[in-house]
Every structure is written in C-alpha cells, then in structure tokens.
Structure 1
C-alpha cells in the first residue's frame, strides 16, 4: 500500500510512525542528490497524505461518534513535518496546521519543534509572504514556547532544553537527545545558527554521547548527526579554512592547516612533554589565521606537593563531608504477644559535621558522605574515597550497597571504591561508615571521581586532616 510497518509478515499493516521515518530518510537522500526510486518515495508520501486526511476526518467528528479523536497528537506532528519537507503545495494541509496549533498544549517539546520546522518548510515555498503568513505567527509562538525550557551553564558553555520529570522519556516523542537535536535544527533554520544558544546545544549533545562515540540509539544518533549537518551549514563552520600555529614561550611547537578536505584526517592533538617545560612561568599561545572559529581544550597533568589539597572539577564535581555520629537511641512502645505494650529501644544517631581539620576520639563512629554533581549524563564512573590510616570501614563485604546510584562498593585497605554504571545530570549522594581505631595525626587524601572510558573526565574533593586522641 506504499507504507512501511515494523517488519514484513502475514497480517502486518503499515505504520504512520515507521512510514514517516522511511519517507524522511528518502527525502533527505533526494536533497543530497542521491539516487532515490521516485515511485517508492511518491507512494510513501501518498500513504502519509491519506493517513493525515483520515486523521483530519476523525478530529472533526462529533465527540460521541465512533473514531472521534479529541485532539491532534505527537504522531500527527511527525507526519505533518515529514510531508512539509517534500516542499510541495499538495502535501501541506493548512487545516491540520491550525489544529496542531490549537492543540499545542498536548504536544511534547519534541513535537513542537517538529511542527515549527514544518512551518519553516512551508515558508520556503515560492510566493509565500513571510511577514503576513499565518505560518510565521505560529512559528514565532512555537519558538517562544520552546525557549521557556532553555537552561544554560556558563561555566561549562552548554545549553539544553530542560524537559522536566513529567517528560515521557520512554516514548519516541519524549527522547531528550532527539528533542535537543530538533531544537538545534530549528534554531539553525530560523537564522540562529551562529548564536551562543546553538553552540551551547552542540556542546551539550557532544558531552552526552555514550562511550564518546554515539548516542542512545541508531535513531537518536541519526537525528543528532542531521542536526549537526544543518548547524555546520548554517554557521558556516563546514566551509572553514584555518591555519593554526602553537607557540610555547615564543617558540613554534607545531603548525597545522584545517579545511573541509582534511577535517577527518588532520592532526588535532598536540603533546608538550615535561622536558620542554623548564621551571618558571610558561606561556602557550594558539594563533589562528583564516575564517571560522577554532575550538580547543587544554589538559595539564602534574604532581602536586601541596600540603592541603583543594577541591577541583568542572564537568563533574565531588564534595566530601565527614560527620561524627553521636548515638541518641529512642524508646518507643510496640504491641507484644497478647496485645500488651512493650518498650523497644531504637538505634538512632545524630550527625555532626567535622571541619577540614578535625579532632576526634579513638573508637568514635564516623560517616563519610560524598556529594556528586554532574553537568551531564555520564556512564561508567569510578568514585574512590581514600581513608585516613586511623579508620576502618564498618562494612567488610563488597557488593551492591543500598544507594540511589546502584553503585558496586569495594572496601579496600586504603580506600573505598564505588563503581557507578550511570551518573545522571544533577546532584547525588553516596555514603558509608568508618570507625576510628588509632591515635595520632592523619590525612585522608581527596576523594576522586573519574570516567572509566574518558579519563580526562575527573574531579576531586579537598583533603581531610584528622587528629585522633586516645580515650
């Protein structure tokens, strides 16, 4: 019938969702001047058009009539957007656009971005007066609606749409990555490809790859790559030609030329060995000649002899709090056999936060609480808390502890290691307990948080000094 379903089999019917995906890919192929069977694309567009006509009929039925549809939904926005990409007048349905705009409160942010992209496509048809067209008014309103979800991190130079806890992340129209990609594409289409918001979205999407290579699925990866292609075209960065020179203390270290022809083969990593860094101040300069921006990161690895090591971190951060546990048991009554009241003592502790240089007594019970802050969603993180030599963990058996991150805990002689499979964006806490067993002056080295497969992703808490007095 011209459409596509989930798989080919007896009784299988065409799906508007899968048909929209395939037709969208065929339209992109045609835009890239790749060979596309015209009859296959034509039949797919006609199937989507027929589906949209039937949806319109159901939306116009009386409320109690069979097959009445109360409002336009996310799937209608997807089909509408794919038909608009064809840029042919016959596939654009003004009545459906009006209903989608009327029911926009029922659309997810992803679907609003798709709807806005469809309106932009309609404005590209010859003879359309952008200043007075209803598509322009709807497009501007949808952009305003989406901007209210924008959040940014100036320290990290990222921006994203905060979809909130009510987002249907398990549905295609609630996918966070695809939503960011659709919004980035919309900004580029509407003339904001060179703005800070677009650049922040690009960096946010780059930071939220899995294993640094791909996104959550083949579909989300394709959506991001399509958005990046539109960004490169809109910002002009895909046509950049640069000559870059690195200088250390006025001496040239390296030179490289970047162009569209060698963008994937040119050298993009430069290492300065320790022997080239004499004592004293070092000045590293990067000179750029040519059009287009230059993005760079710099990493410095060194051994510190600081007596008190401060906290550090950017993409991820960790803070360590050491608490003295003061036992304050509670007495309560509970029903015993025969219905009689029975007094029961319940173990309770009051926490007292210790300063960075604390004095404790031998035999006291301590609780270590680590506050983790992540700017993005990261996988496979290692948290290592180095214990002071005077302390021993109460728990002796390694395994999955009772914590919100489902971290696997290993209690070693000098540290407690926690293996975190997924660290979502936001703040999280992990804790464990120690007992003070020896007297003297001790130091607990900083807690470290690192990425297993991205070692440049790291943070550390500040050092802890402990003076232990004998009982």
Structure 2
C-alpha cells in the first residue's frame, strides 16, 4: 500500500536511518554510491514537507491537519537535529517551535512514558533537564521498557552515567532470552506511541550498547531483530527506522569484520541459486527463484561460508488462479463493503457508458478501537476522479474520532486516514466519471492499521464494464 508517503512519520523515517548510517559507519558498512547521490535531494524535499506540515502550536500530528502529538513531534525534532548535524541547512525557527511544544507538553502531561521520551529528545538537542531526568528515574518502575531505555540514553547524554547504568541493569534483568536470541516485550503496548516489541527491543539494544558495551545480550538482541524481518523490512516504516538506527549503533560498537561470503540456496534439496555477498557491493545479493509449486510443504535452505555474520531474508510471492478476490479480514480487522451507483439516482450498477458519473460507496465496520488506520481504494480503471466525500461515522458519538481524507499523489488511488477511530461503522464515497471503454477488474479496497499489520480487512474485487447501457 502507498499510504505511508502521506504520514509525517514516514517522511522522517525515509531519511533519518540513512543519516545515522553515514554518521556512524564507514568502510564496508558505508552506504553505497547510488543511495548517497539520492540522499541530499531526499533530505531537502523531506525537510520542506515537514516545514509545511508543522501546526500553529509548533507540533506535528500523524498526517496533514492532524492535532499535534508529542511522539510525532519528538520524532520530527530528532530528524531535524540529525539533518542539521549532517550539514544540511535547517530552519531554526521551525526547530525551536518544535522544541517549545515538547517542553510545554512535558510540563503538562502526567504520563511518565511521554515525559521520558520528551526528555530523551530534548537531551539529543542539548536542551535536556537533568533534574527532571533524575526525578523520572525514581519512577521508572511505572514506565514501559522502551521509555526506560530512552530515559537511560537521556541520562547518559546529560552525564549521569550512574543513573543510566542502574536503568540498564534493570533492563538486562527484564529480558526474554533463548539460546540464540534476546528481546523485550511490553505488558501492554501504547499504540498512540507506535509501540511494538521490535521498537522496544531496538531502544533497549541502543541503551545497552551505550551503557554496557560488554553486555552478553547485545549479540542475541541483534539476532532477534534480524530474525523478525519480513522480506528485509520490519512491521512498519517506523519500526524499520528505529531498528536500523539501533543496529547501526550496535555494528559501530562491535566493529564486526566483513569479508566476501559465498552462499548457496536450495529448494526442496535442489540447488537453485549461488553466488557471493561482497562487502563493497552497492546492494545485497538477491536470489530470485521462479517455480510452479505443487500443493503441500516446501523447504528452502541456505548455506554460507566464511566467518562474517550473514543475515538472510526471504519473501514469497504467489499468484493463485481465480475469477476474483473475496472479501476477508483478520479477527480484529475491518469489514469492508464497496459498491457502485448511478450518481444521480443511487441505482446500483456494474455497467455504464463513457461520460457517465458514478458514485463509489465504501462502508467500514471497525470491530475495535483503532489507532492509525488507513483505508485505501484504487480508482476504477477507465474512470477519472471528480470529487471525494469525507469519511464519517454512521452511529454513536464521533467527537473523539480523528479523520482525514486525502487524494493520493498517485493518480490511481484514494487514501482515507484515521489517527483514532472508535469502534463502529463508517462510510465514505467519491465521484468518478467513466472515460475509457473496456471491461475492467477493480482490485479490493483495503484497510490496515499501520503499526499493527496483523489487523487488516478488504472488500471483494469487482468488475466494471464501460461500454454502453445494459
């Protein structure tokens, strides 16, 4: 899905890890030449977008027009500070207003996790409050693990290594450990803060790498993070950015030796790919396996040589035969219905003529309260967008819902964004005009919770005949 290009978080996540890599790593771990050439333009365009999306109170929300939130504002401030440290010109007025917003929230909020995160962000900008950090340290038992990790980093930034080490010791004791991995899991995730076990483990790894470089859990935590990838990435752009930044610190600390490593890949015992991973390569090697598979289980195995650490990721893409896609959802996902109407009469249709005005209706039933929901629908082929109606709640009190609707910059889809959606039924519609003759299959509308990928729902696919009246 292309929704994340519209979020403030994704805007920061697409450049912040790269800047961290350039700052910390060199030699065989350096970013390749091609990404280096693209990075300045990416950073500069991202900075301009962040300037434009800053709210009047100095903060940022998740998407354009959203109310300001401390976690998104803190993330933007970290991105601006990192860009400035890397030599990019940053609008100081924008940065100062963001810092002032965070200081204000830190004084007002009673949430110790929020206070700890803001304290960390301010310390990264040399604006930290050591007395507040020490006071928070006395209340760390009431914090989430990721907040404790950020507080340890803040205390270290401000020179109180003794207090930071005490928190690092507590985090070491809270580990979930196996023979080969280590990770940290929260009793309850605060979804407004984009919390996840991957983000928590990344924060703890970063704190332990700074406070206890000889900690026996570092290698195991790095292993767990690498094994949690799905096709080379993690659950969201935010989690990916946090983990890449944390692993950057880990690699810079450990100074892993890197050498050319040979590999072989087997599918059901047959050799299907072989080659070498070279440390100075522009990008990691990819072995693409194309084969028609019979029903049942199949085994992929990889052999590697050499003493360098090797991290593997696999992705399976398959195409099933069939005439269409049925509606489906996960246990906590949305139930989505979509249909087409004659715009003037509301009569249902599947066939129209060029020039006809159609209304596409979408109904969404949310079974649970949701943070950071995205409903995305591709425009019917053979049509052009005319107008979009807002996403509205059909029943109950909608005062707490925070809804935004945007036409994507891509010409073939619409995205509807809900920062906070209480459980219930919602509806939206948009107008299109039929322009091109033909018989078209329309892919399903989809809804995901960006930071909870396991929650998803889709409508059925549809057919639209643009050619003449039935």
TM-score normalised by L of structure 1:
0.45
More strand by share: 1
More helix by share: 2
| Higher Cα Rg, which structure | 1
